[in-house]
Structure 1
Amino acid sequence: MRVLVTGGAGYIGSHTTLALLEQGHEVLVVDDLSNSSPESLRRVGELAGREPGFVEANVRDEQALDAAFASFRPEAVIHFAGWKAVGESTQIPLTYYRENLGSTFTLLEAMGRHDCHTIVFSSSATVYGELSEPPFREDAPTGATNPYGRTKHMVEQVLADVSASDPELRVGVLRYFNPIGAHASGRIGEDPKGIPNNLLPFVAQVATGRREKLMVFGDDYPTPDGTGTRDYIHVVDLAAGHLAALDYLGSHDGHHVWNLGTGRPASVLEIVKAYQEASGVAIPYEVVARRPGDVASSFADPSLAEQELGWRAERSIADACADTFRWQSENPNGFAGA
């Protein structure tokens, strides 16, 4: 199958692009490299034995996207491209609405013009907000607590409405929880530009000396140790979930929503402990004020994905910490050190 992957040079996108290539698909990545590196795609090609196609462009660029569709003629799209930091989204909400919604509008319009009728969308557990209690099921009430989550929620609604209006469109919405880990080779992993917004890459950078200490945002949540708990899922398992969704849509019409998570929450301090055990390095940390938009606990009920997609998370937090330590140790400056 010919699959166009938006944001395919990024963390989750690169691992999914590798999985697609390994499964024999043809892949074209469209990415503006605003929070990623072309080196990730070079290494994906190295691992897969063949490189994906690549177009450097923002997905909101209608002309560039049209040209990509016309030349590649994709049969399906996996849509990762977007801005993704909860805290940052509260500071520059207009940028998040413009980028995350605008890119989706441009993408869906291009799909319509070029007879591409299958899309897998990278959504987020943030859409559950505080209206539901974990473990979250796909039919739980939704209502995000921050601009980032609201953009994901809005895109989900757009996809549902467009799907209802177009019986040919097949939509898979993947609400995934907290991706961590790296490829077991140590060749690709999470390489955020600037200060990491996600927990494990920050911990990893503290371990290698790039950061002085970890900031723990609040220790007064109603959780076992007071720090926020999340459902941490290995990025390789997550990539496999995208391929499972793509396979499912090959024989199922309509609009579908699945959680991708483990169903087992872990706290910030549990992650710190697991990484210390994997690396043998002490992780200094400081407890600071809660971060705007964060919730106390978020974890999945992943049973629907197992039932319909035949997918389940197989890798542990210890696996993810070991893989992250390998990636960070071998690439202390990320892809910039290549």
Structure 2
Amino acid sequence: MEKWNQSSSDFILLGLFPQNQTGLLLLLLIIFIFSVALLENALMILLIHSESRLHTPMYFLLSHLSFMDILHISNIVPKMIADYLSGSRTISFAGCGFQIFLSLTLLGGECLLLAAMSYDRYVAICHPLRYPVLMRDNTSSLLAAGAWLVGILNSIVHTSFALHFPFCHSRAIDHFFCEVPAMLKLSCVDTSHYERGVYVSGIIFLLIPFSVISISYVQILLTVFQMQSSGARQKSLSTCSFHMVVVIMYYGPFIFTYMRPRSYHTPGQDKFLAIFYTILTPTLNPIIYSFRNKDVLAAMKNIIQNTFLNKK
């Protein structure tokens, strides 16, 4: 190992599962989840693109969320599967850098996009008469473009810094993908100044968007409770509850991973938390935000019927 460390610039990803029967069963579960996530999000994008009734700001933002989820889970899971099956766990310096860059771009962009989606729902429910003015088509486009752009700029900064640190000891990353906190543990220099920069990014991309989402849903619930229809109240409460569960599943582990000091990180805990915001939420997002919606279900039914009739 020492000889390899000194002569190679590649990294080793130690992975998520052990090389035994239990690990293989868990890998098959991940492959199933990965396939479901790809199918769900691709179907969501297809429905939004093809059905005119879904050409609204909310579904426009949802299509970007689905695209981000496809890219994010595809950035991590195929490499993890290939490493396990081949037994070769190496990843090049450039490959690791690309994985960090794309992961941070999508994580940061999705945080901002979820906040934009909560604002859209807040305006639609709390200020329905002003919705056409506040959420015009160009507004949703600007929100989506801003999420992508700010996520990319933030990712460029952090990727550059993370790869700039010297790795003097083992290059074995105890994780299933190249993630900044796991890589900082390999550095042999003081990274405390950079970690303070990570906290600042955490405030911008995690705490502020999470606060915006929480405030939006509190305002939505207050408005819903004033409705006279008990059925509408129950439906809105159920929808908000599901949305908040997914948001907490995404932001909670993300905040816990990126806003703790390096000394408090343990490999097992970091890998467990990363599963939530890299694998599980991309699978749950289409179900919670889209497939429980009657407009989406109606659009899906129309596409199936049209396809069936055309074949006839």
More helix by share: 2
- Look at both structures and tell me which one has the larger radius of gyration over its CA atoms: 2
Q: TM-score scaled by structure 1?
A: 0.23
**Relative contact order, CA 8 A, sep 6+: which one is greater?**
2
TM superposition score normalised by structure 2: 0.24
Higher strand share: 1
